[in-house]
Structure 1
Amino acid sequence: MSTALDHALGQIPAPNDASSLTLVDQLVQWARRRIEERVFRAGMRMPSIRKLALDKGVSRFTVVEAYERLVAQGYLDSRRGSGFYVRERLAAPLPGERRQNAETAPASSTIDVVWLLRNMLQTSTRPERGPGLGYLPSRWLDGDLITGALRTLGRQSGAQMLGFGTAQGFLPLRQQLQTRLEELEIGASPDQIVLTSGITQSIDLIARIFVQPGDAVILGDPAWFQMFGRFASQGARLIGMPYTPEGPDLDALEILVQTWRPKMLVINSVLQNPTGTSLTAAQAFRILRLAEEYDFIVVEDDVYGDLCPPGYPATRLASLDQLKRVIYLCSFSKTLAPNLRVGFIAGAPQVAQAVADQKMLVGMTSPELNERVLYKILTEGHYRRHVERLRARLDGVRDKSARMLEKTGLKLFQTPGAGMFLWADTGVDTDMLAAAGHEAGFLLTPGSLFSPQQSPSSWTRFNVANCGDPALPAFLCRYLDGVARRAS
């Protein structure tokens, strides 16, 4: 009987050609690379000896010897009468560190996003082959904005860059961000703003300050996967809040907060990743009422806010709460450059002070050069026009990408009127779809990554800016048709 992994191997590229390697060596190298990249995951059954021999055009004896070497090297297990399976390979403990056993390890320790993160950089030069990527292609961005700001800074005295900086970050930029927040009807003085190295560091600081082992943290299910591991490492209980096409399921949320009495809720209020939904005013008021009644913190991640056009039906929690209970996060990585790494946290004065203190403990200050670059970009007047162009380009491809996905047989969660993501139901296990995509040269994000519990999923996220490769719909149709034929 063929396995789902076999289905993912429709087009296996030949091993790296090297005259010094035997066929066995090449097969071993091919399999090891895919195991290390999480294409073949722990517990998966490897292709049968007969199938792999046919696919690779080698003898069965060659495959047997390669598999036996992989068993000896700790990559595979051999199960009599069943075949060869990928072995769970644990990382070596650090000196002085004791290995946690299965009974003491946190329940969420299985969360693993390495497969995606490791392959993101490999796909960065060809974003059209990365429909699962979470950022815009570089050709859409404006490198001249950054180089122009750098040239301006280069003409200034270098002495100003020799200081240590401050934990809260470059003051002129915080003053500029105060103005931007006022435009969103969020009142915050510069002392209430702390600059960070992007949303990832912001989440890390908040988790360190506010979350203790055993605390319940409610996150979207689905939601941005990279924060799951950070909260889990603090010992938090991760509770998934379901979504509907209209936004978070607030009836379910009310039951969750009654049951778990959470310390915190983390949410995208505008253009949620990955569903693309946004909060209405009524939904935002209800969330804040629950936060007040059950005494939990609301962390509002507004990283996609600049992709939301003026007048779009979306409400920010911080504009209603005015940073009394809401901690507001934002970043410029989605609109300027993923590696610029400048974001900020805005909160009540005591929150900002706690964040600044924690930031000093874990990393002292954030790079002021990046903060000065962003300050120049924001104050020279070109950023707004740049963002308007990004919105227009997204508007130009969103419906086209949606129609393409629907023609391949996928069902969309909903089609937002702004933003960069479409959440689609494929009807198949998207772990296997992502593995097949990797073999075909596409980076897809399996829906299990977006679940706090990494639950198996038929859903996957598409970045509309990276769906233009004409081979993508052909690959999807071929894979889905193949699964359907095997099931019949």
Structure 2
Amino acid sequence: MAEAEEAPVWPVLAIDRQRRGSLVDQIVAAISGMVNRRELRVGTKMPSVRQFAKVNGVSTFTVVESYDRLLHLGVLSSRRGSGFFVARGGPDTASPTGHAICPSAFPAGFSAAVDALTPDLYSGQSDALPVGAGWLPPDWYGESTILDAVRHAMKIPAGRLRGYGHPLGFPSLRQHLAHALSAELGAVEPEQMLLTHGATHAFDLVLRTLTRPGDVVFVEDPGYSNLLALVRHHGCVPVGIPRTAAGLDMEALAQEAAAQHPKLMFVNTVLQNPLGTSLSQAQAHRLLALAEAFDFWLVEDDIYRELAAPGEASLAAMDGLRRVIRIGSFSKTLSPVLRVGSICASSSLIPELVRVKMLTGLTTSEVNERAVFDAVSSRAYRRQVERLAQQLAQAGERAQERLQEAGLQPLARPRGGMFVSAGWPQPATPQRNGRAIAERALRAGILLAPGEFFSLRAPDTPWFRFNVAYASEPLLLDFLRAQS
């Protein structure tokens, strides 16, 4: 196509080469912001890669990567031989409930803070106080049980060192899980259990198997931070369904389902991350009814089930694994280092999930799975989990009291588990928002997880997810009081 037929020359974007964060991050944030403000309308043709690079003084490689990320985010679409176009409108027109269905993975300008904070939140190697982390102090897990299990797993028979392991995962662990889940879900066969490298790997396999780029995927808002980015990475369009102290907004869900026709929805039924709340039996039944009416899969993130009180709602149990896929993990009850998760699904779905697992990574670690089996099949494991749940409940009550004394208000009252989310009721400002406070905390030796990690768009007020094991530390409380 001739240059004269391309989109009009753009003004130069405000790209700060001295600012922390990549040029790609800045370009993606700038264009996403223009789309959200409706400065760019649906169908607007973007400048060619060469034209954009020339106008803004960046390399064509930078533009290609920026456009590629905007394609994955659903902000742009491409047409072979025609170029790139704006694929969606601003937040006011995105959906009948007014929720923006595909903003950037994090609010504009936040990616640098995410890059700086997230590795430390997961590595466990930082010297900073890990208030925002998703793991507990090692002594809370029952170190002797885990270490004994790992030592036993290392005595793997020599004959097992020749192959990659069973594609479904270590058979003894799958049999143990199938037997344990049968008491709750009805008859579950070992062939319905697929072992994974933790829950996030399980989410990835489900997305790879059941979705295609452009599919709508419902997520809770706020919800699990890695999941929000993973949905976009697969080119799907995440639609946030509000999750509050009262549970899921079922009216918003019904409206969005009718308008968006989702392929699937991820939901954290019990001890939800980051709020710590659980769905009622009535809400779980309504959710299943909506999934049936609008024909979408439900992926139940059930990794906190063992820490919850008996009798909490279970979508998998109510549904019988017809359209519910249950995700499990041992990172919260044993150790995140072992990286063992599971998928429990209908017999018809498991073969395709196995095929995708083999295509993308062959098998999972039999050594890790043997260690988990040895631990969870021991007599000490159930007592250990009961002690952990009690310890978390006590720490959670204490954390809520201390945070309120420091001037913060809880977003919801947790029903147990690892997290309390709380913040200040005053509206966020450019100088006083989750990102800014988290960066100040990092300089003070504290790792915080701001609300921006868990939301599809910038929260109206600054709030954080607090790990109850660390939320009563004087260093944290003194810092928070100084911010009030």
Unaligned runs of 5+ residues in structure 2 are 1-16, 28-55, 76-102
Letter in 2 for 1:327: I
Look up the match of 2:226.
226
Give CA-to-partner distance per residue, 1:324-347, whole Å, 9 cap, x none. Answer: 000000000111111100010011
Task: Work out which of the residue numbers 455, 477, 482 in structure 2 matches 1:478.
Answer: 482
Look up the match of 1:305.
305
The yes-or-no answer on 1:447 pairing with 2:451 is yes
* Structure 1 CA distance for aligned equivalents of residues 361 and 173 of structure 2: 20
Judged with a 3 Å threshold, the aligned counterparts in structure 2 of structure 1 residues 149 and 161 are, in CA distance, closer, same or farther, namely farther
Look up the match of 2:345.
347
Matches within 5 A, 1:51-450: 100=67, 104=71, 106=73, 107=75, 108-111=103-106, 112=111, 113-121=114-122, 124=125, 129-155=129-155, 157-311=157-311, 314-426=312-424, 427=426, 428=428, 429-450=433-454
Give CA-to-partner distance per residue, 1:442-463, whole Å, 9 cap, x none. Answer: 1111111111345565221111
Letter in 2 for 1:381: R
* Structure 2 CA distance for aligned equivalents of residues 281 and 154 of structure 1: 43
Letter in 2 for 1:100: Y
Letter in 1 for 2:221: D
* Structure 2 CA distance for aligned equivalents of residues 122 and 374 of structure 1: 21
* Structure 2 CA distance for aligned equivalents of residues 293 and 367 of structure 1: 39
CA shift for structure 1 position 88: 13
Judged with a 3 Å threshold, the aligned counterparts in structure 2 of structure 1 residues 122 and 340 are, in CA distance, closer, same or farther, namely closer
CA shift for structure 1 position 123: 5.2
Letter in 1 for 2:116: W
SS at match of 2:67: coil
Spell out structure 1 runs of 4+ moving beyond 6 A. Answer: 87-94
CA shift for structure 1 position 309: 3.0
CA shift for structure 1 position 414: 2.1
Letter in 1 for 2:296: F
Checking the alignment, whether the CA contact within 8 Å between 2:271 and 2:415 is kept in structure 1 is no
CA shift for structure 1 position 115: 3.2
CA shift for structure 1 position 126: 5.1
Judged with a 3 Å threshold, the aligned counterparts in structure 2 of structure 1 residues 91 and 149 are, in CA distance, closer, same or farther, namely farther
CA shift for structure 1 position 380: 1.9
Sequence identity of aligned pairs in percent? 34
* Structure 2 CA distance for aligned equivalents of residues 387 and 432 of structure 1: 37
Checking the alignment, whether the CA contact within 8 Å between 1:446 and 1:457 is kept in structure 2 is no
* Structure 2 CA distance for aligned equivalents of residues 393 and 464 of structure 1: 10
The yes-or-no answer on 1:462 pairing with 2:471 is no
**Cα RMSD over matched residues?**
2.8
Judged with a 3 Å threshold, the aligned counterparts in structure 2 of structure 1 residues 241 and 146 are, in CA distance, closer, same or farther, namely same
Judged with a 3 Å threshold, the aligned counterparts in structure 2 of structure 1 residues 233 and 90 are, in CA distance, closer, same or farther, namely farther
SS at match of 1:373: helix
CA shift for structure 1 position 37: 11
Question: How many residues were matched structurally?
Answer: 399
SS at match of 2:318: helix
* Structure 1 CA distance for aligned equivalents of residues 446 and 59 of structure 2: 28
Checking the alignment, whether the CA contact within 8 Å between 1:448 and 1:457 is kept in structure 2 is no
* Structure 1 CA distance for aligned equivalents of residues 134 and 65 of structure 2: 35
CA shift for structure 1 position 186: 4.5
* Structure 2 CA distance for aligned equivalents of residues 88 and 443 of structure 1: 36
Judged with a 3 Å threshold, the aligned counterparts in structure 2 of structure 1 residues 457 and 351 are, in CA distance, closer, same or farther, namely farther
SS at match of 1:282: helix
* Structure 1 CA distance for aligned equivalents of residues 130 and 299 of structure 2: 29
* Structure 1 CA distance for aligned equivalents of residues 69 and 126 of structure 2: 40
- Greater Cα radius of gyration, structure 1 or 2: 1
* Structure 1 CA distance for aligned equivalents of residues 482 and 170 of structure 2: 52
Q: Which moved more, 1:437-446 or 1:109-118?
A: 109-118
CA shift for structure 1 position 155: 4.7
Letter in 2 for 1:451: S
Checking the alignment, whether the CA contact within 8 Å between 1:397 and 1:465 is kept in structure 2 is yes
Letter in 2 for 1:439: R
SS at match of 2:135: coil
* Structure 1 CA distance for aligned equivalents of residues 57 and 382 of structure 2: 49
Judged with a 3 Å threshold, the aligned counterparts in structure 2 of structure 1 residues 162 and 469 are, in CA distance, closer, same or farther, namely same
SS at match of 1:265: strand
CA shift for structure 1 position 191: 0.7
Give CA-to-partner distance per residue, 1:20-40, whole Å, 9 cap, x none. Answer: xxxxxxxxxxx99x93699xx
Checking the alignment, whether the CA contact within 8 Å between 2:173 and 2:373 is kept in structure 1 is yes
CA shift for structure 1 position 368: 0.6
Letter in 2 for 1:164: Y
SS at match of 1:339: helix
Checking the alignment, whether the CA contact within 8 Å between 2:72 and 2:236 is kept in structure 1 is no
Checking the alignment, whether the CA contact within 8 Å between 1:412 and 1:425 is kept in structure 2 is yes
Checking the alignment, whether the CA contact within 8 Å between 1:217 and 1:238 is kept in structure 2 is yes
Checking the alignment, whether the CA contact within 8 Å between 1:37 and 1:118 is kept in structure 2 is no
* Structure 1 CA distance for aligned equivalents of residues 339 and 408 of structure 2: 34
Checking the alignment, whether the CA contact within 8 Å between 1:327 and 1:346 is kept in structure 2 is yes
Judged with a 3 Å threshold, the aligned counterparts in structure 2 of structure 1 residues 290 and 353 are, in CA distance, closer, same or farther, namely same
TM-score, scaled relative to structure 1: 0.76
Checking the alignment, whether the CA contact within 8 Å between 1:42 and 1:88 is kept in structure 2 is no
* Structure 1 CA distance for aligned equivalents of residues 184 and 267 of structure 2: 17
Give CA-to-partner distance per residue, 1:71-120, whole Å, 9 cap, x none. Answer: xxxxxxxxxxxxxxxx99999779xx765278756335544443332222
Give CA-to-partner distance per residue, 1:115-166, whole Å, 9 cap, x none. Answer: 3322225654657x12111121223122222221233344563323332212
Look up the match of 1:78.
none
CA shift for structure 1 position 244: 2.3
CA shift for structure 1 position 392: 1.5
